[in-house]
Structure 1
Amino acid sequence: MTAGLAVRCLALDALAVATSDLLRRHGVDCLLLKGAGLARRLGVDRVYGDVDLLVAPETVPAVRDALHAAGYRPTLPPEPYDVAASWHEQPFTAPGALPLTVDLHRGFAGVGDPDALWRSLRGPAEPLDLAGGRVLVPDEAGTALLAALHAACPGDSGKPVHDLDRALAVLPPSAWAVAGRLAIRCDAVPAFTVGMRLRPAGAAVAGRLGLSAAAEPASMWLAARRATPTTVGLAGAVELPGPWLRRLRLLARLALPAPAYLRQADPAARGGRWRLLRAYPRRTWRHVRWLPRGVRELRTARRRHG
């Protein structure tokens, strides 16, 4: 880690403590999901770029009010993070000279029951001394669960899979057994299975837990292997139960998403109506360019899943 990155990580650690203290003064608990807590749990020198804090879903309105009053500003419109919507995180820019970000989580990718996730992680959470203060972090089983879930939905980063490799190497079998039960409790078995089966060591653990490849949805399987969003969206549409009209609506949202979604997915769409309007044809062209690769990826998924 370079000196500049080390200084930035120290600043993020201080921000994690300050934000946790701020929320605690407002009567809200939070957990540091990644960052220094994950690095210490895995025993690695890990670079991180923001502060990921998980809160109970019902506390989100109070948390946003507390952050706003303290000078934190959301970097996106509020629509994607409506309490009834499916978004599980919202970034806030922290006050201060450095451009540091706090990602406020009310759930995690692949989790169907965010309330159960909060209860499962908060109960056994452990304190961590950090930057002259203290934060709460998930225990070993919670870390194992999150490592698998993050590997199943890595975005465009290879870091989650490396974290999973390290977690499989250092966390005890008992932690993975509990993590499997937590995945059932918070409706995250498909994502947990996909993440675990990315690696031979994880597949062996999944086998001992009774998690087979049959629990892997094709769309998640593709996302874990960093397929294009076009491919993942098409696979997700095929998997939707019910009439084809629901699938057509999903495909329409993939091609022409709501403005709030587009601003979330494409930073170039933020900053005014003109930038938003230009983002739509750019998104369409991107899907067109991805089609040949998407066809290959879908064929691979078809051979894998039938």
Structure 2
Amino acid sequence: MSVSPGLAVRCLALDALAAATSDVLRRHGVDSMLLKGAGLARRLGVDRLYADVDLLVAPDTVIAAQDALHAAGYRPKFPRDLHVVAATWHEQPWHAPGPLPLTMELHRGFAGVGDYDELWRSLRVGADHLDLAGGWVLVPDEAATALIAALHAASPAGFGKPARDLAHALAVLSPGTWEAAGQLAERCDAVPAFTVGLGLLPAGAAVATRLGLSFTRGPSSAWLAARQATPAAVSLAHLAEVSGPGHRLRELSRLMLPLPVHLRQFDPRARRGRRGLLWAYVRRIGRHVRLLPRVLRELRTARRRYG
């Protein structure tokens, strides 16, 4: 793959950012792990371009990590109450200090994972030390790399670079590694997304079949997300998967009337005082109404797939 000098320099800058941010967090007592980037590229033996830095921390250290980043001059990409968001989101983008426009994603979990605490525990036990840009970072072992590759492919952006990463992972990682990845997925409640990600590629589908994972039964929300369905369709499918009327009511309220801090993240008008926030809610409801025919089509397709 031919890489332009500009992109190569940017990746070197991101490597330096990963090492520096990991060091910042470590000096504040926060352990972190580089999920993708240089660690994934070296694990798969490929030249891989990346756009940001993804660092995973233990869920119970997110607030300390945020405080450490603030103190070091990092700034959250979206104005919001970080302590509130820490309890509900699996990643938060931060602008890094310095002249280059670099982004660091602070993770407390990963898309498709139900148990963030177990994800951290499982990945941390097998983490490897990687020297990087004059510093060092922790990176996932081979089994965790396989898990992350499949989960990333199952994300809404999975048809691009994540699918290519998964193809490389399927080519270079051993059957025993994929078996261990399946065990990791089971421990951290990520089997549906793990299965969906593998199913995007013939080689992955063969691995899933060998592991005894079923493509005919399971939550449709992960399948919809991997195929870039509307967020409303994904949310409604997830609503049907959760148990108990109380949980479903909370999920429905988050879909229709999310917290203001969440709405401000995605709609700039919501940041313009109370009137702007009210107008953002009106726009959101109107958008759901306009998309309703498409949402229903997507749900019917998913129901046929997982019926």
What fraction of aligned residue pairs are identical, expressed as a percent?
Answer: 68
The aligned counterpart of 1:268 is: 268
Distance in 2 separating the partners of 1:8 and 1:276: 37
Q: How does 1:58-137 map to 2 (within 5 A)?
A: 58-76=60-78, 77-79=80-82, 81-83=84-86, 85-137=87-139
TM-score, L = length of structure 1: 0.90
Q: State whether residues 81 and 88 of structure 1, in contact with CA within 8 Å, keep that contact through their aligned partners in structure 2.
A: no
Instruction: Name the residue aligned to 2:258.
Output: 257
Q: Does 1:150 align with 2:149?
A: no
- Kindly report the root-mean-square deviation, in angstroms, between the aligned alpha carbons of the 2 structures: 2.2
Q: Give, in angstroms, the shift of residue 186 of structure 1.
A: 1.3
State which of 195, 198, 202 in structure 2 corresponds to 1:196: 198
CA 1:138–1:269 in 2, change beyond 3 Å: closer, same or farther? farther
Specify the SS of the correspondent of 1:213: coil
1:303 maps to 304
SS of the counterpart of 1:49?
coil
SS in structure 1 at match of 2:192: helix
Give the drift of 1:155: 4.2
Letter in 2 for 1:259: P
Q: Which residue does 1:38 correspond to in 2? A: 40
CA change 1:23–1:80 in 2 (3 A) is closer
Cα deviation, 1:160-192, whole Å, max 9, x if unaligned, reads: 222212211121111101101111111212221
Count of residues paired in the alignment: 303
Contact 2:18 2:137 in 1 (8 A): yes
Cα 1:288/1:2, change in 2 over 3 Å: farther
1:124–1:139 Cα contact (<8 Å) kept: yes
SS of alignment partner, residue 29 of structure 2? coil
Give the drift of 1:267: 5.0
**1:292 corresponding residue in structure 2:** 293
Shift in alpha-carbon separation, 1:80–1:255, aligned structure 2, 3 A:
farther
SS at match of 1:46: coil
Counterpart in 1 of 2:21? 19
- 5+ residue gaps, structure 1: none
What SS does structure 2 have at the residue aligned with 1:112? coil
SS at match of 1:54: strand
CA-to-aligned-CA distance 1:84-119 (integer Å, 9 cap, x gap): x23111222111112211111111112222121112
Instruction: Give the AA of the match of 2:119.
Output: L
1:234 is aligned to 236
Q: Which residue of 9, 12, 16 maps to 2:11?
A: 9
1:193 partner SS: helix
The runs of 5 or more residues in structure 2 that have no matched partner are: none
